[in-house]
Amino acid sequence: MKRIAIYGKGGIGKSTTVSNLSAAMAQMGHTVMQIGCDPKADSTRNLTEGEAIPTVLDILRRDGDAELSDLVFKSRSGVLCVESGGPVPGVGCAGRGIITAFEKLEALDAYAVYAPDVVLYDVLGDVVCGGFAMPIRGGYADEVCIVTSGEMMSLYAAANIARAVKSFDVRGYAKLRGLIFNAKNFEGEGELAQTAADEMDVPILFHIARNPCVQQAEKQGRTVVEAFPGSDMAKEYRTLATLLLSGMTGATDVAGEAR
């Protein structure tokens, strides 16, 4: 089982990236579980026809307990979808909600029951403390990737995440794999992102070009990989999926060369 945590500042396109990677990996023949770790609980919407699935915290608040079938939803593309959820607005800590969700999935032996080949954690990266650091320091993830554009606030958040991962790395926790550059397409953006990556001493793993078919797919409540499978953008996501899964065996490769 390969476990990858994907962090990034809110609004940077992280959930769009993660859900397209999940769909691409599922098409490759992998059993994929995507766990949304954002109180907005919108990580998996593009996998579930735009519909929100019940969150772990909502179910526990309502029923007091839960079975795995209450928490894990299989998308049309075969991705196992989980949303941790968050506290009632204005009450409680969102990070604590992630911890509760992780502990409940573990108590129910979710990973043994579903036996995923890949687990993708979609984690809000505006802060890297408490529950938001669980995939890094809790032994849940093996690798961390950071989605960023060349915008200053996005790069600032990426630098904070990179520092956090590196500080835990010395204790044998998750390794920082690199940056996923999700371009906004403004002048000089690539140079800004590369300069920041050099300062962080982190490689840019992949450059995702801006493409209107992303928004067109999201209007349908779908991933690009499902809505426009023959598009250049779908090929980009499949290529990135292949890159992130490098070293794994036992599934069919999808055409596309890793960069």
Reply yes or no on whether 184 is catalytic. no
Which residue out of 2, 14, 104, 122 is catalytically annotated? 14
Average pLDDT over residues 255-259: 35
CA angle 240, 242, 247 (to 5 degrees): 130
Which residue out of 2, 9, 58, 104 is catalytically annotated? 9
54 vs 257: CA distance, rounded Å: 37
Per-residue pLDDT of 71-109, as tens digits, reads 999 999 999 999 999 777 677 677 777 888 899 999 999
Greatest CA span in the chain, whole angstroms? Answer: 52
Which residue out of 126, 142, 166, 235 is catalytically annotated? 126
Torsion sign, CA atoms 184, 32, 141, 43: positive
92 vs 69: CA distance, rounded Å: 26
Domains of the chain: 2-244 (3.40.50.300)
Q: Which residues contact 235 (CB under 8 A, 6 or more apart)?
A: 255, 256
Other CB atoms within a 10 A radius of the CB of residue 139 amount to 12
Reply yes or no on whether 58 is catalytic. no
Instruction: Flag whether pLDDT at 137 surpasses 60.
Output: yes
Q: Phi/psi zone of residue 166: left (φ > 0), alpha (ψ -120 to 50 degrees), beta?
A: alpha
Which residue out of 40, 166, 175, 235 is catalytically annotated? 40
Average pLDDT over residues 174-203: 95
